[in-house]
Structure 1
Amino acid sequence: MPVQFQDLSSEHIKACFLKAYQAYPELHGHRIIVRQRSMSKTTMNAQPLLNWRFFRRSRRQYIVNLTDNMHVEDRISIHELPEEVLVGWFAHELGHVCDYLHRGVLRMLQFGVGYLLLPNYRAGAERIADIFAVEHGFADAIIATKQYILKHSGLPSAYKRRIELYYMSPDEVAMIAQGEPANALTIDQII
């Protein structure tokens, strides 16, 4: 299996990742490293591994980073999150990886710059990841993840505002899952 876990001992986290990963057969030919590390501004992120394989889309490798603790007042460990929340989070991150599969080197560099500098671009990228997750059968898990984040009283309000600003709402995810048009662009219009 091309999934490799680094610095990750929680069997719960590994099982949740594998549950999401199995629904993404287009990723099974790529090496994906899942590692846990200290991150201050985000809970998870997915990105291509910057090595010589980065320049060949078909051989590109990816890394999914996850924090060791949610940045909440009572310091919730990631491995304490409910299964559906973790699976939804991983499904979203694997949605990013699916998006990266379609991008050549120049478009990946454009993505990185746009994501960092342009709020609308970032919102579009997060939307694409959610749409990929919904298309792979994870609408309920994505909704559970968003509801967990937005309703958890211990999460900082700045974190919740960032989620509301850049990510689809639970209602919008439900609309897309039901095949109804949502307010923003679809994946075909963005890619």
Structure 2
Amino acid sequence: MKRKLKLLFLAITAVFLVALILKEPKSSIPKSIEEEAHIALQYFPSLQDIPIEFKFKKNIEKSVMQAQPTWSGLLKSKSKRSYVILISEKFKISGKEFKTLDVPKDVLIGWIGHELGHVMDYQERGNLNLIGFGIRYVLLKEFVKKAERAADSFAVSAGMSNYILTTKRFILNHSEIDKTYKNRIKQYYLSPDEIMEMVEQQDSIKDKD
């Protein structure tokens, strides 16, 4: 715990130093996921002018993708923030490694949509709140659950329920996907039933309007 707190303190201090030398961020999408990213982004028009860099990484611990604010973005207003969405090049099924790009198209769109849900969540937070978010996410399991369910909720509210459900079912129904990862999805994220309930509530509100 002390080591984590020390690392977080150093990271926060580094924000103010690194931000001074970083260039102005721009949106960037690797060609291999350009179509899927653009489809997901269409559901989030409020992010149209927010710089988001999609970047592949060799490995991401406990996850396939990860959305983060950039260091320089933490010193700016919400409208001028920028983000990076890290994408693991590979993930494991029954101990074997598979390329993330080899999953079905709709599954990949759903994964990206969930990360954009995180960005939407971040955009509603002030800078100090966002820094506190990062600290709590690292230290508190219950906060991880709250954050992941919020990201799912943002994506579902944006109209991505079919993609999010497809991704969930791919993970939970794939017999060879590691049980540890499945259990993490069950513990921290919205279940398919909860997503369907959200959709029904949204439809009910639309019908009343």
* TM-score of the aligned structures, taking structure 1 as reference length: 0.86
Question: Rg larger in 1 or in 2?
Answer: 2
Percent identity, aligned pairs only, is 36
Moved beyond 3 Å, runs of 4+: none
Q: Report the residue type matching 2:181 in the other structure.
A: Y
Q: Give the one of 77, 82, 96 matched to 1:61.
A: 82
CA distance in 1, matches of 2:199, 2:71: 34
Cα distance, 1:156 vs. partner? 1.3
Unaligned runs of 5+ in 1: 181-191
Q: Distance in 1 between matches of 2:58 and 2:169?
A: 24
Q: How far does residue 90 in structure 1 lie from its aligned partner after superposition?
A: 0.8
Q: Could you say what secondary structure the match of 1:137 adopts?
A: helix
Counterpart AA for 2:58 = S
Which of 25, 30, 39 is the matching residue for 1:19?
Answer: 39
Pair 1:87-2:114 in alignment = no
**1-structure distance, mates of 2:35, 2:97:** 22
Moved more, 90-99 or 71-80: 71-80
Aligned residue in 1 for 2:163: 141
More helix by share: 2
**1:165 positional shift:** 0.7
Question: C-alpha separation between the residues in 2 aligned to 1:158 and 1:150?
Answer: 11
Query: Normalization by structure 2: what TM-score?
Result: 0.79
| Number of equivalent positions | 174
Q: Summarize deviations over 1:114-156 as a string: whole Å, max 9, x none.
A: 1111111111111111111011111111111011111112221
CA root-mean-square deviation: 1.4
Deviation at 1:55, TM superposition (A): 1.6
Q: Does 1:43 align with 2:67?
A: no
SS at match of 2:182: helix
Residues in 2 aligned to 1:154 and 1:144: alpha-carbon distance in whole angstroms: 17
**Residue type at the aligned position of 1:28:** Q
Q: Give the AA of the match of 2:190.
A: M
Alignment match, 1:175: 197
In the TM superposition, what whole-angstrom CA distance separates every residue of 1:82-111 from its partner, at most 9, and x where no partner exists?
111111111110000001011111100111
CA distance in 2, matches of 1:34, 1:148: 22
CA drift at 1:9: 4.6
